[in-house]
Amino acid sequence: MDTVALTDDFTTAQTADGPHIARACRLLKRYDGQTVVDHIDLEVRPGECFGLLGPNGAGKTTTLRMMLGLTPPDGGTLHVLGEPIPARAREARVRLGIVPQFDNLDPDFTVRENLTTYAGYFGLKGDARRRRVDELIAFANLGQRENMGIDSLSGGMKRRLTLARALINRPELVVLDEPTTGLDPQARHHIWQCLRGLKQQGTTLILTTHYMEEAERLCDRLAIMDRGRIVAQDSPNALIAEHIDPHVLEINGNAAMRWLDGQTDDLPARAHRVGDMALLYCREAAPVLERLERAGLRYLHRPANLEDVFMKLTGHELRD
Amino acid sequence: MMTSLMPQLSLRFIPVWRRNLLVWRKIMVPSVLGNFGEPVLYLLAFGYGFGQLVGDLGDLPYMVFLASGIICSSAMYTASFEGMYSAYTRMSEQKTWDGLLGAPLNLDDIVLGEIMWAATKALMSATAILVVAALLGLVSDLRALLALPVILLAGFAFAACAMIVTALSRSYDFFLYYFTLAITPMLLLSGVFFPLDQLPDVIVILAHLLPLVHVVEVIRPLMIGEWPVNVLLHLSVVAAYGLVALSLSTWLLRRRLMC
């Protein structure tokens, strides 16, 4: 990644409990009598990467839309970059960048024109605009394709261009809705690298994802949402330490399930069964390992991760 | 939350308008052909073909009568098409509006920008027809130039009405209702192709509830070297349609998109 300065110094709102970039209190949203976001409290601190995790329909995107002033809340208060939202959402959008879940690049324009027109929406003109667009074309690594239409870009290139477009105004805060969904591993790593670069420059990031690996790599703090509520909010490591035993043993197959059924309640592990596989969570691995070895079962031993926390807190059933 | 029901008018519509202009410049040739070629063909075919049969209307050759009508109807069609098919495509299919809403623009700015752009296209199309009509000797004097600001107002009103339909539409098919139930009857009952006094009184009164006839009654005299009468009344009707439709469409689109 280029070492161009992508952001300005950020300003933050000061409150009794310290500075924050965004803060929601008892934020509420209902659709047709159904509560989609249920009195949530959120606080995003300057310079951090804050993740919003949750199964489909948990209310992540609605929460983001409310923060951007695109959806009016039905209750609670919301401040982003010190501006009350939605009353002064337009003013807040002057200073933030948005990477939406689905690319909405302008298909009537080339790569360069997309950035140039978008810069125009922010009031950039002349030389300053041209320089900024040059920087961002380099940042998105699209120099070879700057005069091509959007249709000729791969999914990863479109995402890079969308991210570059979001940086056109050197935002203090970038809001990303599922930034890497649908990307191949190379493209995903490239986006991660870009996001880490932004963070190093002091840009605050808010992102939603349902890739736990992504959240664990990028986020300083995260909130897990389920059914419109925040069920946990902390750093990834603190969440793992608080909610789950450190060792996980995965077993699967009929023999393993019969073995599990045969265990009386003295097994020093919490078993979680999903179909013909089970996860055994335990504080000490050795006693359980010994039993598995004795039974001659195959197993996978790994440290607990964010996905375990996520599954524990939001349940294993399918969400549509 | 306090949101005014009235649209927030702001010069921030200009970047939206300019975006559409930039795209238009890329597809200018087919666009000009459509907006300008088609009415000219109508004018020539109907004018020469029909004109022979009809002869003169009073002391007005049919071609002259028709030219001043077609300039109005073409403004109506251009603004309506742009306000429906093109704006709907940008709102719904291309998600251009979503991109605009990521910038410091409000939905009200976008709606006004789209309507002003559609009015601009109506003006471009009318200007082209005016040039052709002048070359064919169908325009009396420089008063005809005064038709252009009237066309811009008319384009604004028709585009704003089209934006209401766009706000309510779930697919392109929906626009056919509006064309069949509103635009076509208006075209036939507003004195574009034949003088209104051919029709029963009740129809004439009903036609005057719609905007197009008021546009025609201002523009036709200007094109044939006369001064129109009741200008303020006619223009007020057109402007009222525009302002009410702007407010209603903005309100409907806010309900549709900002939810």
What is the pLDDT, as a whole number, of residue A56? 86
Residue in the block written with tokens 């709907």: B88
Tens digit of each residue's pLDDT (9 = 90 or more) over B22-71:
999 988 888 778 767 777 788 888 878 888 888 788 788 898 999 999 99
Structurally, chain A folds into a number of domains equal to 2
Question: Which residues of chain B have a CB within 8 Å of the CB of A90?
Answer: 104-106
Residue B56, SS3 per DSSP: strand
Is A309 part of a structural domain of the chain?
no
Residues A176 and A285 in one domain: no
Is A224 part of a structural domain of the chain?
yes
Evaluate if residue A10 carries a pLDDT over 70.
no
Residue at A212: amino acid letter: M
Residues A85 and A147 in one domain: yes
Tens digit of each residue's pLDDT (9 = 90 or more) over A11-43:
445 444 568 999 999 999 999 999 999 999 999
Nearest-Cα residue of chain B relative to residue A63: B259
What is the pLDDT, as a whole number, of residue B41? 86
Is A231 part of a structural domain of the chain?
yes
Owning domain of residue A297: 245-303
**Average pLDDT of the segment spanning B184-210:** 93
Residues A137 and A166 in one domain: yes
Is A38 part of a structural domain of the chain?
yes
pLDDT level of residue B2 (50, 70, 90 thresholds): very low
Residues A202 and A253 in one domain: no
pLDDT level of residue A320 (50, 70, 90 thresholds): low
Is A6 part of a structural domain of the chain?
no
Question: Which residues of chain B have a CB within 8 Å of the CB of A71?
Answer: 258-259
Residues A29 and A153 in one domain: yes
Residue A269 DSSP label: S
CATH of the domain at A250: 3.30.70.2250
- Best probe of the B interface among A32, A62, A80, A121, by most B CBs < 10 A, is A121
Is A15 part of a structural domain of the chain?
no
Residues A77 and A148 in one domain: yes
Residues A213 and A254 in one domain: no
Instruction: Decide which of A241, A271, A294 is a domain's last residue.
Output: A241
**Average pLDDT of the segment spanning A119-131:** 95
What is the pLDDT, as a whole number, of residue A18? 67
- Measure A121 CA to nearest chain B CA, in Å: 6
Residues A200 and A96 in one domain: yes
What is the pLDDT, as a whole number, of residue B38? 77
Report the range of poorest mean pLDDT among A305-314, B38-47, B131-140, B249-258: B38-47
ipTM greater than 0.90: no
Contact A109 B258 (CB under 8 A): no
What is the pLDDT, as a whole number, of residue A1? 40
Residue in the block written with tokens 């992504």: A214
Tens digit of each residue's pLDDT (9 = 90 or more) over A163-220:
999 999 999 999 999 999 889 999 999 999 999 999 999 999 999 998 888 999 999 9
Residue A71, SS3 per DSSP: coil
Instruction: Decide which of A220, A241, A262 is a domain's last residue.
Output: A241
Per-residue CA distances from A227 to A38, A230, A314, B160 (Å): 8, 8, 9, 40
Evaluate if residue A108 carries a pLDDT over 70.
yes
Q: How many helices (H) and strands (E) does chain A have?
A: 11, 14
CATH of the domain at A81: 3.40.50.300
Evaluate if residue A8 carries a pLDDT over 60.
no
Evaluate if residue B217 carries a pLDDT over 50.
yes
Is A216 part of a structural domain of the chain?
yes
Apex CA A185: angle with CA A183 and CA A189, to 5°? 95
Tell me how far apart the alpha carbons of residues A227 and A126 are, in angstroms, rounded to a whole number. Answer: 48
Residues A214 and A293 in one domain: no
What is the pLDDT, as a whole number, of residue A2? 42
Nearest-Cα residue of chain A relative to residue B24: A108
Residues A177 and A261 in one domain: no
Residues A152 and A253 in one domain: no
- Measure B34 CA to nearest chain A CA, in Å: 19
Residue A5, SS3 per DSSP: coil
Is A45 part of a structural domain of the chain?
yes
Apex CA A39: angle with CA A38 and CA A42, to 5°? 115
- Measure A166 CA to nearest chain B CA, in Å: 8
Residues A107 and A231 in one domain: yes
Judge whether B196 is closer than 8 Å to chain A, CB to CB. no
pLDDT level of residue A318 (50, 70, 90 thresholds): low
Size of the A and B interface in Cβ pairs below 8 Å: 61
- Measure B255 CA to nearest chain A CA, in Å: 10
Nearest-Cα residue of chain A relative to residue B12: A121
What is the pLDDT, as a whole number, of residue A158? 95
